[in-house]
Chains A and B, each alone.
Chain A
């Protein structure tokens, strides 16, 4: 038996039913039959029509209208059951469908997804070169390419057992792929460094990274460990 606890003492359905009976008892007590009324002819005609309909069997039985909410709920339940069954019988296809849906959403609503990127820096801001607070032992800079909108630095150890390449480009110049766009292709993860999101993906023995900082796209690759890469990135500074 359901009870309504919001009121004190809680109200039970039985008490509610008893109260309803009291209300109806009042209705009965205060309703009086009209013994004098003579029913009009139009009323009789309406009844005649009803008579024909019932004689022909054309009178409609009581129909229940469920309302759009009912059909919406049923439809949603059917779709969910369908997806569930499809998920059980064809998991690969469902996963592929989900990935396709994610891609579509990201492409069409890129500005609205969590990957939206905005910056307060002016578009004309000059490229601020990177300085490295940390480099693994023995790692030295071997190549440096600096242009107005582009910096590329290559580091490697003496015996070239490890390498680290990093480039910095203006966002306007760089063909930046959307963060998260390759999540399904490689073993990719999102890490947070210097309070910013960096995408790293591992391919064979190499780690690739992609980082959007203000108006610059910083990307590169290395065969160092992930921990060392994070330490390098954590200690990069952008100075005029």
Chain B
């Protein structure tokens, strides 16, 4: 455990950032692992996703202002979720299965609708396929630029722009359908 922590800390240059990363690591590791495992249903794959997620956090620690906050927790869960879905996509490619974005789509459960008080925009966002959903949340909630989204989602800037644009269009289309 200590070794792992040292590795992550070695990625961080300033002492302040080291403390920040340490806090993040101690505070959220188990939660992030729980998230990855809930998606992958495999502890080893979940470890891979978690490792990638922490690597991202170490490289982008400057983006985290307050380690103990709901916003940071949300960002870490989003990072973990995206990396977990990345693992899903890689596994499918290895097994020669076609990657179907619709399949990875999150279903807006009755629980979710109840949680958000039937907020149509939230339901529309939640029903987006994972990549679109992540891109839209990074853009509008975290105010990330296309470059930052690309860095976080490990894709090209052009793809990140496309994900935000198409994600937003799909979101608007879903809202229009809801209004009809």
Q: Give A contacts to B, CB under 8 Å.
A: 4, 6-8, 11, 13, 15-35, 37, 39-40, 42-44, 46-48, 50-51, 54-55, 59, 61-70
**Are B125 and A20 closer than 8 Å at their CB atoms?**
yes
CA distance A40 to B44 in the complex (A): 8
**Interface size class of chain B, counting residues whose CB lies under 8 Å from the partner chain:** 35 or more
Most B CB within 10 A of own CB, among A4, A8, A23, A30: A23
B31 contacts A by Cβ under 8 Å: yes
**Are A21 and B158 closer than 8 Å at their CB atoms?**
no
**Are B175 and A11 closer than 8 Å at their CB atoms?**
yes
CA distance A29 to B34 in the complex (A): 12
Among candidates B81, B116, B140, residue contacting A13 with C-beta atoms closer than 8 Å: B140
What 1/0 mask marks residues of chain B from 1 to 16 whose CB sits below 8 Å from any chain A CB? 1011011001100000
Q: Which residues of A contact B60 (CB under 8 A)?
A: 62
**Secondary structure call for the B interface:** helix
Q: Which residues of B contact A18 (CB under 8 A)?
A: 121
Q: Give B contacts to A, CB under 8 Å.
A: 1, 3-4, 6-7, 10-11, 30-31, 33-35, 37-38, 43-44, 47, 51, 55-56, 59-60, 70, 73-74, 77-78, 81, 111-112, 115-116, 119, 121-122, 124-126, 133, 136-137, 140-141, 143, 147, 150-151, 155-159, 168, 171-172, 175-176, 179
CA distance A26 to B119 in the complex (A): 12
**Are A20 and B141 closer than 8 Å at their CB atoms?**
yes
A73's nearest neighbour on chain B, judged by CB, is B158
5 closest A-B pairs (Cβ-Cβ)? A67-B156, A67-B158, A20-B141, A54-B10, A19-B121
**Are A31 and B34 closer than 8 Å at their CB atoms?**
yes
Q: Which residues of A contact B176 (CB under 8 A)?
A: 6-7
Known contacts: A17-B141, A26-B116, A47-B7. The answer to whether A66 contacts B77 by CB under 8 A is no
Closest Cβ–Cβ distance, residue B136 to chain A (whole Å): 7
Q: Which residues of A contact B33 (CB under 8 A)?
A: 33-34, 37
